[in-house]
Amino acid sequence: MPHYPSEAYTPAGEQAPLSEYAGRRERLMDLIGDGVAVIAGATEPMASVQFWQNNDFFYFTGVEVPGAFLVIDGVTRESALFYHLSEDEAKDRGIPLGLVHDPAAATGMEQIGTVEEFEPYLSRLAARTPRLFTPHFPQELSRVTSATEEHAAWKRTVTDNPWDGRQNRQQRFVQRLQEKYPQAEVLDCSRMIWDLRKIKSKAEVALIRKAAQIAVDAHLAVIRSTQPGVQEQELAALFEFICGKGGAQAQAYVTIIMSGTNHPYGHYHRHDRTLESGDFVILDAGPDYSYYDADVSTSFPVNGVFTDHQRELYEIAEEIHQVCLAGYQPGRTLREVGADVAAFLTAKGLDPADKRFRYAASWGGYNHPIGMATHDVMRSITGPDEPLEPGFVFACDINIPLDEDFGIRIEDTVVITEDGCEVLSAGLPRTIAEIESLMKEKGLLQRMDGK
């Protein structure tokens, strides 16, 4: 069961209270024992883009300063933060001035120092501890789907590339720790952090709910504006505009629009088609709000009217979706929810082993966890027989691939509650009648064109 902070939480639209970050650091201290954990923050970007902190560092600190280091001491039960930040730099980057003038109060850390003080401080701790912990997986930055997927991509395209072979930044950091402190064992704490991030607190759920509701508004805007002659590029731009207007700091991942012959490509995002009557669209898109993501998909016909074939299969997908949502209960397993789906399909004379349905009939509509990364940390479900816990956030994703120009995705961001589940992305039109009714309304793109 999750352990929430004792005080009530009122979402401020930005981040959790300092007590929550302190509680996260304390739980990591429990896991490292007499060791010391060292987490490097993200560095200043090389390109002219917004700086975003990496997810692990932000999870324990809530601090967005570039080039910072966090040290968590399991023996003294104290945390130390090291960074450079002048008042001018803070103003230029929009960083709270409290990090310059009163960093202890702004961060809740026991010790604050400069970057130059980081190495002497860590050297003193390394002299008396046998174990240094640090993540060995690449850092999760904005739009990184998960650390494990980033690791696989980096290995495939860089480390194992015979014409490259570079280490990623985190691998180099591990190597430097090993070189500087050969007397200490440098251990990977990635999975410890993943386990801590698995169950979301009330503060985290509130931020994901906000991200999901921004996604709902953006999906509604795109559905209203979809009609023959509209370009996918326009719809993608509209989605991002509505998200930004709602307070999102970025997109959780590139906006996916599948239409026409691009349906077989589950993450198609070239936005290179002009929509035609008869096309069917899958929109898979969600924002990042204060370092927390939402993942939402909708499916709808470009001309606003479902054909008989589209209607038949969409209704089955939506009914499966409802069976899954009804089945999510704390203590139940995804295999049990999948059995609910299989029973529903059998009752309708359909084969649960059919490739269109077999995933929903085995994992109960579950696709992946959601949190600070779109797929969040990939250790979050060990298998379909793990009991669901309150605070676990994930994608209920009914994905029915059909043929080269038609497929269905009905995807919501869902959290397990004490007595069932909450659809954090509630408010989307899910029935055919709701979708067709919404598509009769004038969209923002048409208003801009004076139509």
Stated pTM of the model: 0.94
Interval 99-156: pLDDT, tens: 999 999 999 999 999 999 999 999 999 999 999 999 999 999 888 888 888 888 888 9
Please check whether residue 269 is in contact with residue 394, taking contact to mean a CB–CB distance below 8 angstroms: no
Name residue 420's amino acid: G
Round to whole Å and give the CA distance between 37 and 28.
Answer: 8
The CATH label, of 3.90.230.10, 3.40.50.150, 3.30.1360.40, 3.10.150.10, for the domain at 202-448 is 3.90.230.10
Interval 315-337: pLDDT, tens: 999 999 999 999 999 999 999 99
Query: Residue 16: what pLDDT?
Result: 86
Query: Residue 10: what pLDDT?
Result: 34
| Domain boundaries, given as residue ranges, for the chain | 18-198, 202-448
Interval 56-106: pLDDT, tens: 999 999 999 999 999 999 999 999 999 999 999 999 888 899 999 999 999
Query: Residue 22: what pLDDT?
Result: 97
* Nearest CA among 136, 41, 409 for reference residue 256: 409
Round to whole Å and give the CA distance between 203 and 292.
Answer: 11
Query: Residue 1: what pLDDT?
Result: 30
DSSP letter string over 199-226? SPPHHHHHHHHHHHHHHHHHHHHHHHH-
Interval 240-270: pLDDT, tens: 999 999 999 999 999 999 999 888 888 889 9
Query: Residue 332: what pLDDT?
Result: 97
Averaged pLDDT for residues 3-8: 32
Please check whether residue 430 is in contact with residue 419, taking contact to mean a CB–CB distance below 8 angstroms: no
Contacts of 120 (CB under 8 A, 6+ apart): none
Alpha helices in 226-307 (DSSP H): 232-245
Instruction: Indicate whether 5 pLDDT > 60.
Output: no
Same fold, 18-198 and 202-448: no
The CATH label, of 3.40.50.620, 1.10.540.10, 3.40.350.10, 1.10.357.10, for the domain at 18-198 is 3.40.350.10
CB atoms within 10 A of CB 135: 25
**In this structure, what are the phi and psi dihedrals at residue 48, rounded to the nearest 5 degrees?**
-85, 75
Query: Residue 380: what pLDDT?
Result: 62
Radius of gyration of the chain (CA): 24
